[in-house]
């Protein structure tokens, strides 16, 4: 199909060789497409194209290379790829595509585990994050996990993320208030969703599915937040295993997640990169020995906070999305945690 005038592109990646304990993932995306194309579009302006599937290469690296080249082409044309995966290790290929786009990136992963694994092991669906974090060139500015379950992650891993000033939100936190993650997506370039983050009763088509996880409505709300973010430039949904899908239930849910992502995309307000300062109200809040500038959009009522950046490196990370609650906390002399973490990384 013609790329000209397209806004979003659906791509399947038929490679699950590095998916751990989920053989068969990546074998059939047509069933997801079938249910997606049965849904009515919203009142959308966006043109969506379907680029079919990337077949698995002779090696996994060949598959990665093919996907990377395609992502570079699409993102340079401002087309957002929606990647249907095989193994979640494909997130690594998605991340590496941004090497050629010459920018540091923020990665948000929706998953029960951090997938750090062992740096010395071959990359897999359960160890890709350590490769992303440690490997040169290192273009990762921030990593955020949404939906981790404490008992699947060692205390050492939780402490390591804290030491690196990365963000992690427990399943319970997000389930009780999904709005909590809206600012996270506003500050994200790449989104990777493991369908194992959804409870088994809702999404059985994954051999690693577990009893607890997100409900269908919550994962669709998360997909919509990812879509509405002006900054998200690629989405991947991984680990779908058609062989285990009861009555195509998971395929139907993924189709609806894609629908919600596109719905969000069509409601983008284009407030990133930061538009004219006249579109925002500025609030100056002294906290302890510092001063934090907050900005509230006149268009959307959304909030940002400015982080001091002594040597002006990584300028695209100095203005970070936040909530009205962060502003109120700062007024009560509590520095928002995401402000602190970003400040430490920049300085």
Residues 48 and 130 in one domain: yes
Do 53 and 198 lie in one domain? The reply is: yes
Q: How many residues does the chain have?
A: 347
49: closest CA among 84, 3, 90? 3
- Decide if 204 contacts 210 (C-beta within 8 A): no
Higher-confidence residue of 310 and 37: namely 37
Is 16 within a domain?
yes
Residues 160 and 19 in one domain: yes
Q: In the chain, which residue ranges form alpha helices assigned H by DSSP?
A: 30-37, 60-76, 90-97, 128-134, 155-163, 171-176, 182-186, 216-228, 249-265, 324-331, 337-346
Q: Which residue matches tokens 């930061």?
A: 274
Average pLDDT over residues 210-229: 98
Q: Residue 275's pLDDT band (boundaries 50, 70, 90)?
A: low
For residue 3, being part of any structural domain is answered with: no
Provide the domain count of the chain.
2
**286, 288, 323, 342 from 333: Cα distances, Å:** 8, 7, 16, 18
Please name the residue that has the structure tokens 């966006």: 46
pLDDT of 262 reads 99
Confidence of residue 274 (pLDDT cuts 50, 70, 90): low
Measured distance CA(342)–CA(295) in Å, rounded: 17
Q: Which of 265, 286, 314 is where one domain is finished?
A: 265
Over residues 120-141, the pLDDT tens digits come to 788 999 999 999 999 999 999 9
Average pLDDT over residues 148-154: 97
The model carries a pTM of 0.96
Please report the pLDDT score of residue 329 as a whole number: 95
Domain that includes residue 203, residue range: 8-265
Work out the widest C-alpha separation in the chain, in whole angstroms: 59
**What does the mean pLDDT of the chain come to?**
95
How much is the pLDDT for 200?
98
| pLDDT for res 94 | 98
């Amino acid at each position: 199909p013609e790329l000209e005038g397209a806004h979003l592109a659906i791509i399947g990646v038929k490679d699950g060789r590095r998916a751990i304990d989920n053989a068969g993932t990546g074998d059939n995306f047509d069933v997801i497409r079938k249910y997606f194309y049965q849904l009515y579009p919203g009142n959308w302006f966006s043109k969506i194209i379907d680029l079919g599937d990337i077949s698995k290469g002779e090696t996994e690296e060949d598959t990665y290379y093919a996907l990377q080249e395609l992502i570079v082409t699409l993102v340079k044309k401002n087309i957002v790829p929606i990647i249907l995966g095989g193994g979640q290790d494909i997130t690594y290929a998605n991340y590496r595509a941004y090497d050629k786009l010459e920018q540091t990136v923020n990665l948000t992963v929706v998953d029960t585990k951090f997938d750090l694994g062992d740096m010395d092991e071959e990359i897999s669906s359960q160890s890709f994050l350590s490769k992303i974090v440690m490997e040169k060139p290192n273009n990762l500015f921030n990593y955020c996990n949404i939906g981790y379950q404490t008992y699947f992650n060692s205390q050492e891993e939780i402490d390591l993320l804290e030491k690196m000033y990365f963000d992690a939100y427990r399943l319970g936190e997000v389930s009780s208030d999904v709005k909590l993650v809206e600012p996270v997506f506003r500050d994200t370039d790449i989104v990777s969703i493991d369908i194992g983050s959804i409870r088994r009763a809702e999404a059985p088509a994954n051999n690693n599915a577990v009893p607890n996880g997100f409900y269908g409505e919550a994962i669709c709300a998360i997909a919509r937040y990812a879509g509405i973010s002006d900054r998200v430039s690629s989405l991947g949904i991984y680990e779908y295993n058609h062989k285990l899908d009861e009555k195509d239930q998971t395929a139907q849910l993924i189709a609806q997640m894609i629908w919600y992502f596109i719905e969000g995309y069509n409601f983008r307000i284009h407030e990133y990169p930061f538009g004219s300062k006249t579109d925002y109200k500025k609030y100056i809040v002294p906290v302890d020995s510092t001063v934090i500038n907050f900005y509230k959009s006149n268009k959307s009522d959304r909030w940002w906070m400015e982080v001091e950046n002594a040597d002006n490196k990584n300028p695209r990370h100095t203005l970070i999305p936040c909530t009205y609650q962060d502003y109120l906390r700062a007024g009560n002399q509590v520095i928002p945690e995401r402000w602190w973490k970003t400040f430490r990384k920049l300085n």
